[in-house]
A and B are shown apart, each in its own frame.
Chain A
């Protein structure tokens, strides 16, 4: 099945998952022109939130895509505390759930650096342009260089409008 990131995010919002869109997809929301193959979110890693996330994805066969044999996502209240990140694959796309963002900090700090956007009548939190630039600079991978250049140009265009 093809990826459908809007559907993936809509499910999380409707299930009441507390999250912020970060990474490459946040760049797409701000106007970057590259194509990304996954959605990165920073979320509250409390058991209640992770179980809500699991429920939202339950009919999409979610698996831990980085584990040998791609283990099924089977979180319980007891096992939720073991994770700092979740690298998932589902029938409608890859979802990376992060508890910490380089250059910004933990979920609370990331949430403070986010703003609400409306996507097809659904409100979602997305990392602000400045915070995304900061995070991408901190990551400093070769692919982040182009992202930073695009984001800085977008910021300039926005300011000159």
Chain B
């Protein structure tokens, strides 16, 4: 391996390591909607629980729904 190629390879490895270490990037890579996490970060615990309850109630209605 030439000195230049070795340097480039090292740089790639370092970059890959730093990307892996970033929790935001790791979440994005997994498919998590980080914008929803950011929205939640600006809400109070009460608001988060209320919104969860609304989502759960909707899900429960859908589970109970019958196909027509």
Residue in chain B with minimal CB distance to A145: B30
- Residue of A4, A33, A118 with most partner-chain B CB within 10 A: A33
B24 to chain A minimum Cβ distance, whole angstroms, is 5
Instruction: Indicate whether A157 sits within 8 Å of B37 (C-beta atoms), given known contacts A2-B60, A146-B32.
Output: yes
- Which chain A residues lie closer than 8 Å to B40 at the CB level? 31-33, 154
Interface string of B23-66 (1 = CB under 8 A from A): 11011001011101110110101101110110111011000000
B37 touches A120 (CB 8 A): no
Is A6 within 8 A of B53, CB to CB? yes
- In the bound complex, do residue B41 and residue A3 qualify as a contact, i.e. CB atoms below 8 Å apart? no
Task: Say whether A37 faces chain B, with CB atoms less than 8 Å apart.
Answer: yes
Cα-based distance from A125 to B1 in the complex (angstroms): 58
Does A14 touch B at the CB level, under 8 Å?
Answer: no
Known: A119-B46, A153-B34, A154-B37. A2 touches B57 (CB 8 A): yes
Contacts of B45 in A (CB 8 A): 29, 117-119, 126
In this complex, the interface size class of chain A, counting residues with CB under 8 Å from chain B, is: 20 to 34
A158 at the interface (CB under 8 A from B): yes
Q: Is A48 an interface residue (CB 8 A)?
A: no
A/B pair count, beta carbons within 8 Å: 82
In contact, A3 and B43 (Cβ under 8 angstroms): no
Q: A145 to nearest B CB, angstroms?
A: 8
- The verdict on A33 contacting B33 (CB below 8 Å), with A6-B49, A119-B46, A150-B27 known, is yes
Binding site for A on B (CB under 8 A): 22-24, 26-27, 30, 32-34, 36-38, 40-41, 43, 45-46, 48-50, 52-53, 55-57, 59-60
Q: Can you add 14 more A-B contacts, CB < 8 Å, to A33-B33, A120-B46, A153-B23?
A: A2-B56, A3-B53, A5-B53, A6-B49, A31-B40, A31-B41, A33-B36, A35-B52, A35-B55, A126-B45, A145-B30, A149-B32, A152-B23, A154-B37
Q: What are 24 sample pairs from A and B whose C-beta atoms fall under 8 A apart?
A: A3-B53, A3-B60, A28-B49, A29-B45, A29-B49, A31-B41, A31-B48, A35-B56, A37-B56, A118-B46, A119-B45, A119-B49, A145-B30, A146-B30, A146-B32, A149-B27, A152-B23, A153-B37, A154-B40, A156-B22, A157-B38, A157-B41, A158-B41, A161-B41
